[in-house]
Amino acid sequence: MDRPIKPNYRRRQLGRTLRKLREAAGLSQEEAGTPLRFSTSKMSRIEQGYIPGYNDFLALLDRYGIISSDYDEYVRMFDYAKEKGWWHAFGLSDRGFVSVEAEASWIKTYGLGFIPGLLQTEAYMRETFAGARDPLDGPRLENRVQVRLRRQHRLTEERPLELHAIVDETALLRNPCDAAQLRQLIERSHLPNVRLQVIPQKVGSHDGLYSNFIIAGFPERSEPDLAYLEYGFGSLQIEKEAEVSAARLTFEHLADLALDDGDSRALVERMIT
């Protein structure tokens, strides 16, 4: 049986807002819900990010003492929470990493065998997808490419994603990493919100040789960071704090091993022929 899909970030944000309004009104979940005929379990689900009906939502605002002239801010948040992310148009659900990345404020990513997706050229994407164990072609390939290109918009939006990317030098030496891809790495590294570091081959053995991984953080401090691990036959989203903390420490260790920003850019520039 499939596990229930956890509410996405924007829905959890709405739930947190309703919890804060309830607490500011000095009410327990039971005290807030009983006059509205809401069970405690329903109140709990709402505050965890499961969206109530619109009339139930307005009833909660009224219960928490919000006057109708101040509803607009909360209604906009309600509408935003119900809105489907752009990835749904490409057949993706809220379960995968794309929805996480779309709401994150910063990403730390380490690439062992591949250039991180947010920094790839379209040609690099196409060759990578075509070279997979289950090669993509036709509509499946086009869909995957368009999703990845759309993800890259986060780097140049009005509130851009902060990206810190560490790449092992071996990924820069392996096809399909060509001169165009190297030039794009340099170009993106000049963005004020992008930091690129390269771990040179001379470093030898290090903890990053096990796999690619990503750590994501969010605008709300109450929203915990999470890690995302990619391996040869799948991927895993990690939410346990101890494991996310271990991922942070590993990333910091790899950053210490890597060349600094300027030397990393210089290494990439020397590789362009």
pLDDT, tens digit, 9 for 90 and up, residues 8-35: 888 988 999 999 999 999 999 999 999 9
- In this predicted structure, the answer to whether residue 1 has a pLDDT above a threshold of 60 is no
Are the beta carbons of 149 and 88 closer than 8 angstroms? no
pLDDT per position as a tens digit, 52-86: 999 999 999 999 999 999 999 999 999 999 999 99
Task: Tell me the CA distances in angstroms from 190 to 23, 59, 63, 102, 266, one per residue in order.
Answer: 45, 49, 50, 22, 12
Average pLDDT on 198-216 reads: 93
pLDDT per position as a tens digit, 100-157: 999 999 999 999 989 999 999 999 999 999 888 888 889 999 999 999 999 999 999 9
End-to-end CA distance of the chain: give it in Å, rounded: 53
- In this predicted structure, the answer to whether residue 4 has a pLDDT above a threshold of 70 is no
Burial class (CB in 10 A: 0-12, 13-18, 19+), 273: exposed
**pLDDT, position 38:** 96
CA torsion sign, 83 to 162 to 160 to 146?
negative
**pLDDT, position 75:** 96
- In this predicted structure, the answer to whether residue 200 has a pLDDT above a threshold of 50 is yes
**pLDDT, position 6:** 76
pLDDT per position as a tens digit, 25-61: 999 999 999 999 999 999 999 999 999 999 999 999 9
**pLDDT, position 5:** 65
